Structure 1
């Protein structure tokens, strides 16, 4: 019923968060194709192309069902289907109005744009949708709101923090808030399984749904396609490819002026446009606090434990008598969402006292989570192994040594604790900087004073790795040093 353009350009009709592509017969909500029937789509085209005008029911029927007798009830059924499809938008009630005894009118503002049909299209069906995460995220609402707003002023934001702190979960929620705000959509690229930096560009092109023609340089092809895209790309797990990711982000932002990047990493990428957002553990009640249940549940860490426990056991109820043990549990787990979820999962087989006992012998590091969880997050041990693999021998030795320090320690403590290691002052300082950058130890400032902080789980892990290293060094045939 609609003539196709033959001048090499595609006409796109945009309203609100939606795009209507007449030639492709496609209605997009952000980067997601909405499943609506062919007749409903034809009706929408008639109304959108006459936006602001009243279109009689007879006119709609004659254009959508030419030479066919159709009852008016059929039109009303398809109008209802359209309203349901547009119902994901709070303003949907203002799109299609019923003018009594006259017909229907599409009253929203419609912007008509043209795109060259020769451009390589990033089809919604060609790329994975954003992975789902739990609907509720405890204690991150303000941060998510700030990042959502900041993304429109900053072209590159990186969420950093230790493993298990929830970087991917927060980044995905921020990305979900952007659906419909970027003309060419939001794309998610998980880099965890990429081991060769040389493959990074090819993997990115593949995850974006782009086939690189044979004999064409993948980098040149990718940059040419993204040059005019208004798109948000979420790069998840950059730390093991940090140099390659940094170089790629710099090049992408230079090639695509309307491109935005949201990244997650255990250390900053240090690009020229990067805004670094550290992600702290969830707040837990302070040591020595004596709280009633209602007051304890105001803390995100306690709320997360209670919610995950209910998800595991439908009859679970946090009681007043449970509060001291749960407070101690969340505090000793450093408020790490991954650690709290793993602990709550043990309620199937353990009491709260039993779970606390696991913390005493560090057995909790190997507790397993959901089967669907990525391997690097299947346990605290796996999460820390991921970071440990990024360290060199000197950095590992320093991490082992720092396990003997308290929860908080000073520069002087570091010097005294690591003074016996067979490494130079320069190597020691470089190693400490590397541990801080990878979020294995935290750095805090109090006026002119600088002190460090190590999470309980990291300390337990470092102590065990140090013990294993001593045993290995004592084995016959072990290399000197």
Structure 2
């Protein structure tokens, strides 16, 4: 915890008592949204370091330690430039840097007052505290305000979704933003959280759960993002105690791998921490009490690409993102007249997913629209890859693999089987598909099959629409392409002598509902003598 006392602006409070544990860590000074730690020569704003020169920090330390008192120029020169001869202008330069750092947020709040011809006075309320590494709890037992990471590029075509999500967060304590890999859940949630952060006394904090492999460590991961230290079997209870009096927007990002653990953690936090709100990103809802689910779909596309003009195409966010990113990648790029329909088709083949569209845009100058469309016939690898960012966001294939990684064997087999179908399908068609030898789904009962289909729709890997009271399912094109790639890999394995899947290739190639794309995938993966 923090031992603290107010050294300006109110009667001093005693530091510690006979019952207090001895304080540890360097002495620090908290004022407004800042914490100054002189021993480490650092000023923190919203728990992030502020870039200031050593002379400016020395001046600030002197003023803060003498808060409320007038500090003359001679005293500043003697303290900060003890063994140098400098002009008074050096004080002015450093004082200007301090004011930009402390008062440059547009709030018009002044921390330093100037008495002309005499010196400077620190006029903010200061609390002396003991800084520790294991806690971010500030003076009075409160979290220091948080700062979210910045978005790398602005959102395109998500204004309505952002407004709706903002309303959801304001009205509900738990909001889950749900959608397929690459649809932009993290970016949209981060944008909304950044706008809402100022409405919470302790700001907003991002917790990335993508790398968590042990579900028991979810509470500790949340605590670490807040610079708190909790561990052991009682970690969640300890986290709740730390946050029970805080006003905070907590963003739990990429809960896919630990949905059950994230749901349990979220449920407990909401029950015990009334000032907490949660914004969750995941491919499926957490399914806990009070949850508001907002499904995020791909960027809007024209219903028909025929007679689409370039001007009209720019009205659709998916195409606008493609062309904007292509122009940023290669200055001077413009869409040629008559190619608007091809651009729309490319975006449709990519399901309007921002990640896929941005990757395609980097290849557009080199390959053109025709070339990219041809590469998509082969697979998602033709879209290229990024060097930076999370591993799962470096390519569309990696994003798809991430989405498939945590599926059950039945779910994977059903997706692979469905990837060979053209168009949508109902439960009856899925049952026929599952009953075929070699599908790996022959043992599924009808209720079990319906359960697997529902689970895949809930996890944003199938789209589901109700027609005449009955559900119909469809694979997104990017999911279908990933399924084809997996099927091709199995076909290559099956081409090896004595492979147990080898006989199933004959049956797969002869399916009446096999798409042309699916047949090409099978042929690409197997020996022609086996299939023909």
Q: TM-score range by the shorter chain?
A: 0.7 to 0.9
What's the counterpart of residue 388 of structure 2?
Answer: 372
Bigger mean CA deviation after superposition, 296-305 or 395-404: 395-404
Q: Which has the larger radius of gyration?
A: 2
Q: 1:256 to 1:12 in 2, by over 3 A?
A: farther
Correspondence for 2:14:
6
Answer yes or no: is the 8 Å Cα contact 2:462–2:475 preserved in 1. yes
The answer to whether the aligner puts 1:225 opposite 2:233 as a matched pair is: no
- 2:410 pairs, out of 394, 402, 407, with 394
The 1:194–1:391 alpha-carbon spacing in structure 2 relative to 1, beyond 3 Å, is same
Q: How much is the aligned-residue C-alpha RMSD, in angstroms?
A: 4.4
Written as runs of structure 1 = structure 2, the 5 A alignment for 1:44-83 is 59=70, 61=72, 65=76, 77=93, 80-83=96-99
Q: Could you say what secondary structure the match of 2:162 adopts?
A: helix
CA distance in 2, matches of 1:462, 1:345: 24
The question of whether the paired residues in 2 share the 8 Å contact of 1:290 and 1:324 is answered with yes
> How do 1:21-32 residues align onto structure 2 when only pairs under 5 Å count?
29-32=45-48
Indicate the residue corresponding to 2:474 in structure 1: 453
The one of the two structures with greater contact order (alpha-carbon pairs below 8 A, sep at least 6) is 1
Partner of 1:122: 136
Counterpart position of 1:147: 165
1:135 & 1:41 partners in 2: Cα distance? 35
In structure 2, the CA distance between the partners of 1:67 and 1:462, relative to structure 1 (3 Å rule), is closer
1:421-480, Cα deviation, whole Å (9 max, x unpaired) = 512101101110111011111123467454333211111222333454466568636389
What is residue 296 of structure 1 aligned with on the other side? Answer: 313
Matching of residue 315 in structure 1 with residue 332 in structure 2: yes
Which residue of the partner structure matches residue 170 of structure 1? 188
Q: Which stretches in structure 2 are left out of the alignment for 5+ residues?
A: 1-5, 18-27, 505-532
Once structures 1 and 2 are overlaid, which stretch shifts more, 202-211 or 271-280?
Answer: 202-211
The 5 A counterparts of 1:227-246 are: 227-246=244-263
**Aligned match of 2:220:** 202
Q: How many residues are matched?
A: 466
Q: Which runs of 5+ in 1 are unaligned?
A: none
The SS at the match of 1:188 is strand
| 2:500 alignment counterpart | 478
The 3 A distance-change label for structure 1 pair 418 and 187 is same
> Is 1:184 matched with 2:202?
yes
8 Å CA contact 1:30, 1:180 repeated in 2: no
1:120 Cα shift?
6.4
The whole-number CA distance in structure 2 between the counterparts of 1:156 and 1:291 is 41
Distance 1:324 1:256 in 2: 52
In 1, Cα distance between the equivalents of 2:434 and 2:476? 19
Aligned to 1:274: 291
Matched residue, 2:177: 159
Report if aligned partners of 1:160, 1:167 keep a CA contact under 8 Å in 2: yes
Deviations along 1:76-130, one digit per CA (max 9) or x if unpaired, are 65664354235653443899899999999999xx999999999963179999964
Of 341, 345, 350, the residue aligned with 1:333 is: 350
- Which of 414, 418, 421 pairs up with 1:405? 421
Q: Match of 2:57?
A: 38
Deviation at 1:340, TM superposition (A): 0.9
* Shift in Å, 1:335: 0.7
Structure 1 residue 219: Cα displacement: 3.5
CA separation of 1:233 and 1:350: change in aligned 2, threshold 3 A: same
